[in-house]
Structure 1
Amino acid sequence: MRSTHTQLAGYDSVTGTKRCTQKQMILNLFCTPHVTLTRQEIADRTNLRLSSVCGRVRELLDDEALQVRGSQKCTATGVQNETMGLPAEVTA
């Protein structure tokens, strides 16, 4: 079955809105520049799927709204995970 142009435009508008809402949910977790979270911590606090968090975090990193601020070892797996935070302000 083929989708019409109108159906595809409707799908894009809904998913675009959903992506914006998810990005805002993630940004709301970072109330100060000192807060850093892993993708898993973001998923746990927002109740979003980890795959959705990874996609939105990538977009936020590309937009420079978030920045990789370090890493921490996962207690369950022992794997190093990136921590994200608001961009660090440069002091002159």
Structure 2
Amino acid sequence: MRATHTQLAGYDSVTGTKRCTQKQMILNLFYSEHLTLTRQEISDRTNLRLSSVCGRVRELLDDEALSVRGTQKCAATGVLNETLGLPAEVTA
């Protein structure tokens, strides 16, 4: 599905500062390299809408600031959800 001009304009109207603040809020949750969270858990802990979390997580994954670390079964739905965490250190 392609985004319309109105949708793109709406996205662009959100300031870069707001997006950066949301990304920093998400990164601040990962105080340990062993901690992993689902997108829903991130949403619950930050009080950000799930759609905002998904967008910022995608950007953080693209920036390699976060990585997919596994999956976790949702207790309510039984669906497998990705767990996210800080990238594992690459050893030479």
Q: TM-score, normalised by structure 1?
A: 0.84
Secondary structure, in 3 states, of the residue corresponding to 1:36?
Answer: coil
Q: How many residues align structurally?
A: 82
Task: Show the 5 A alignment for 1:7-46.
Answer: 12=13, 15-46=15-46
Q: Which amino acid aligns with 2:37?
A: L
Once superposed, which parts of structure 1, at least 4 consecutive aligned residues long, lie more than 3 Å away? none
Whole-angstrom CA distance in 2 between matches of 1:90 and 1:31: 19
Root-mean-square deviation over aligned CA pairs: 1.4
Larger radius of gyration: 1
**Residue of structure 2 in register with 1:3 after alignment:** none
Structure 1: unaligned runs, 5 residues or longer:
1-7
* Identity among equivalent pairs (%): 84
Cα shift at 1:91: 3.2
Structure 2: unaligned runs, 5 residues or longer:
1-8
Matched, 1:70 2:66: no
